[in-house]
Amino acid sequence: MTRSRVLRALLIEDEPLVRWTLRRAVESEGLDVVEASSLAEGAHLWEQGAFTLVLTDYRLPDGSGAALLRIRRQHGDQTPAACITAESERVAGELEPGIPLLTKPLDPTVLRQTIHDLIAEKSQTVGTDSSACRTVGPFEIMSMPSEWDDVAMRHLESRATGSSYLACDCRMVSRWDDSVGPALETLSDRLRRRNGCLCVILPPGPVGAALAALCGRHKVETVAEAEDLERLGRRHVSQVERTALLTEYTSEVQP
């Protein structure tokens, strides 16, 4: 399989035979492989560089792979990942939403399909920064974790130093801290002063309705789908341009 850019997989597994099986399956999909045999080593490698996907064992000598995935998700990292275990019934409830579970002994067909699905998930995003997955129109999109807390909010605010158009993809969000609303309003005002815009992509159902009400109270734009951002961006840019032209015209005609 020919790819235009290097794709890398991180494998965190302490059993050499399982790690070898994973490596063969991942390499058959055209990815480079980086291996770790402990939780600490895997966490360090993940912190140091971006990966197309991550496969981690649940029970490692120095901790839980599921806990590592949970922490990365809580910090806004949406890198496609799967967890491997021989204790599927107990582990399933510990995984973040959207993370598949592979059961030992590994079924080669299921393993290849899971890797293929994770690569396809990654290919829907643009760039290598996992906390800012893609762009639509002028908006840079940052995926928010299931629990939107102060840590995730700080990641979002740090993005505002390099982008005037930010969108929070909240389709995986299920709850948020009370501080999120005021922080969103402050960030929205900050971007607006730079002729930019902050927008929230709403999750479906009652959670989305509650988040839409929160955004309404704090004067933050919302859309139902990421594709709506392009239309919102065009409208906002046009408004900014009209305001600039009007200001320029007024300054010229005034005596």
Query: Do 8-123 and 134-249 have matching folds?
Result: no
Query: Radius of gyration (Cα) for the chain, nearest Å?
Result: 21
Task: Give the CA dihedral 221, 225, 229, 235, nearest 10 degrees.
Answer: -70
Q: What is the predicted pLDDT for the residue at 211?
A: 94
Looking at the chain, the whole-number percentage of residues with pLDDT higher than 70 is: 84
Instruction: Give the pLDDT band of residue 215 (cuts 50, 70, 90).
Output: very high
Domain boundaries, the chain: 8-123, 134-249
Q: Taking 80 as the threshold, does the pLDDT of residue 241 lie above it?
A: no
Instruction: Give the pLDDT band of residue 131 (cuts 50, 70, 90).
Output: very low
CATH architecture group of domain 134-249: 2-Layer Sandwich (3.30)
Q: State the pTM of this model.
A: 0.49
Contact assessment for residue 201 and residue 173, using Cβ atoms and an 8 Å cutoff:
no
Q: What is the pLDDT of residues 15-36, one digit of tens each?
A: 999 999 999 998 888 888 999 9
CATH architecture group of domain 8-123: 3-Layer(aba) Sandwich (3.40)
Instruction: Give the pLDDT band of residue 124 (cuts 50, 70, 90).
Output: low
